[in-house]
Structure 1
Amino acid sequence: MTGSTALHGAPDCVDRELAAVAARDEAFETFARRVRALSASTSATGGGRATAATPMAMTTAGEAGGASATTDGTGCVAVREAFAETVAPHSTADLADDEPLVETIAAELNEDVAVALAAETGWTPTLKRAVLEEVDTRRREVEVVRETLETERETVAAAIDEVDEILAWLQSTAEESLLQCDFETLRAKHDRLEGYRERLEELTVRRQSQFTESTNRYGPGGTRYRTVVASVYSARPARHPLLSTATRLYGICGDCQRTVRAHLTRRV
């Protein structure tokens, strides 16, 4: 029974998610490096006004007032190609259908950036800065998710230690005949089972409390811990392996305790 519970499969799920998060962060890092390497420029020709294809957010005061973005769209093309080769595969890996690149860029960066890059009206310093700022934001979010997953890894490892201790004792006494046990031995078994039930109840309470925590290290308003963790085990039969294992084991200890209690009453 040891090692066969739903909880024992949880570390592998967390490790796979940690690997995916690391790969996503590396993709953003590579994308940012390629974006930084692309020179952005403006020219003093033309009116440089923001259009529907080039949102005002992508236009500096200087660009809007007299200096227009270089009309050469090769920089935007290069950024889209870099995104498609680095971030996009990680973003769309779980999608059943293909997604237009501009939609993926809008989802990962923002809609204004996606529109400006698709319009190819110019790779300006303002647009370059906007892209890199969005990448920095995404990488900070990835770091928060990584920290949450590492916390989850520590949580399930500690819970497995507790569960294994209880399972080992249950297995060690499974073949014992309670009829051969004296009153003191039975009472010791009953008390031990009561202690195990209390520990499992405390484990459940701690887990439920953990689920209400926010992943925002700077205060309230972040994603709930429960939301992040739920995605880790979404493909498994037990969506909450720690709680399901603790609840099941709590019931087993209760059944054993009732059996021991019945033998105790016969000794009185």
Structure 2
Amino acid sequence: MSVETHVDRARDRVAAERDAVADERRAYERFGSAVASIPTTSGPTAARGETTAGTGPGTGGVRAAVGGRAASATDGCRRVREAFAETVRPHSVADRAADEPLLATVREELGDAVAVALSPKTDHDFTPPVASAIGSAVDDRLAEIAVFDRTLKREAASLRSAGETIREVTDWLAAADETPLLTLGFDELRRRHEALADRIATCESLLADRQADLDRTASRGASVGLRQRSTVAYLYDDFPVSYPVLSTVARLVETLTECQRAVRDHLTRRA
């Protein structure tokens, strides 16, 4: 007897998602390092055609402004945009339109404030506060990624455990199905009935454990929390069933119950 399940496909889906999350985490780490390596400017620079007389140490006396703002003033923001495009963006747009504007992706990943600060239209300087805001946004995303990966790790363990139980039950059913009930004596039928009852209980326990897993929440600190059920809904959105384990085990319980009913009919006729 062969029972088709969705659990193996679910395990493949989780493994692929964990690989993608690991790649995204590394991308954010590279982006954060790139941002940290870009020099910041102390503040606004002179307008086109103006000069500033330097009286402090190291000012060099006079600094000329070119093109409306000093070239170095907004160069940092441009470099941040380029670093984002090279590291984070490919992972962010993998499931969306590849022609999504860069600043739209920045807004999606790092928030409105960072997107505004990095926009060429707003002509911001890459100041320490801007760099700090970007660093904080990156830290927040890394924390979210860590929590999501924790739910994926838990899902992988749950699927592995469920798969082992399902395999044991289906293997037993396949072996038992090779012996017709008519060839079994009364005591053998009674033992078959009890064995089926044990496996029904095992499956019902698995269902309860799985429900408990779905209601758990992964968190990191007080600000980041993610329910397992939300992760499952995302992972299996394109599956024919919303809950692969619950659907598979529920179907298996139905099969076991039908087998048990058939055994009981034979026991009743021979009593």
TM range (shorter): 0.7 to 0.9
- Per the TM alignment, residue 220 of structure 1 is displaced from its structure 2 partner at its CA by 9.4
Question: 1:242 aligns to what?
Answer: 245
Percent identity for Structure 1 against Structure 2: 38
Contact 1:190–1:260 (8 Å) recurs in 2 = yes
TM-score normalised by the chain length of structure 1 = 0.86
Aligned positions of 1:112-151 closer than 5 A? 112-118=113-119, 119-151=122-154
Aligned positions of 1:219-234 closer than 5 A? 222-234=225-237
- C-alpha separation between the residues in 2 aligned to 1:8 and 1:83? 36
The aligned amino acid for 1:18 is R
TM-score normalised by the chain length of structure 2 = 0.85
- C-alpha separation between the residues in 2 aligned to 1:194 and 1:244? 20
- C-alpha separation between the residues in 2 aligned to 1:217 and 1:264? 56
Matched position secondary structure for 1:216:
strand
- C-alpha separation between the residues in 2 aligned to 1:42 and 1:36? 15
Question: 1:189 aligns to what?
Answer: 192
- Alpha carbons of structure 1 residues 248 and 43: separation in structure 2 relative to 1, 3 Å: closer
Aligned positions of 1:88-167 closer than 5 A? 88-96=89-97, 98-118=99-119, 119-167=122-170
The aligned amino acid for 2:155 is E
Question: 1:27 aligns to what?
Answer: 27
Q: CA-atom RMSD, angstroms?
A: 2.2
Aligned residues: 247
The aligned amino acid for 1:108 is E
- Per the TM alignment, residue 136 of structure 1 is displaced from its structure 2 partner at its CA by 0.8
The aligned amino acid for 2:73 is D
Question: 2:61 aligns to what?
Answer: none
Contact 2:77–2:118 (8 Å) recurs in 1 = yes
Matched position secondary structure for 2:99:
coil
Matched position secondary structure for 1:175:
coil
- Per the TM alignment, residue 166 of structure 1 is displaced from its structure 2 partner at its CA by 0.5
**Deviation per residue, 1:188-210 (Å, 9 max, x gap):** 11111111111111111121222
User: Which of structures 1 and 2 has the bigger CA Rg?
Assistant: 2
- C-alpha separation between the residues in 1 aligned to 2:147 and 2:167? 30
Matched position secondary structure for 1:222:
strand
Contact 1:214–1:221 (8 Å) recurs in 2 = no
Between 215-224 and 248-257, report the one with greater CA deviation. 215-224
- Alpha carbons of structure 1 residues 240 and 113: separation in structure 2 relative to 1, 3 Å: same
The aligned amino acid for 2:106 is I
**Deviation per residue, 1:33-64 (Å, 9 max, x gap):** 11111011205867xxxxxxxxxxxxxxxxxx
Matched position secondary structure for 1:84:
helix
Say whether 1:267 aligns with 2:263: no
**Deviation per residue, 1:74-96 (Å, 9 max, x gap):** 11011011111111111111114
The aligned amino acid for 2:104 is E
Contact 1:214–1:223 (8 Å) recurs in 2 = yes
Gaps of 5+ in 2: 47-68
- C-alpha separation between the residues in 2 aligned to 1:98 and 1:138? 23
Question: 2:76 aligns to what?
Answer: 75
Question: 1:51 aligns to what?
Answer: none
Contact 1:74–1:120 (8 Å) recurs in 2 = no
Aligned positions of 1:5-44 closer than 5 A? 5-43=5-43
- C-alpha separation between the residues in 1 aligned to 2:221 and 2:124? 38
Matched position secondary structure for 1:223:
strand
- C-alpha separation between the residues in 1 aligned to 2:26 and 2:86? 12
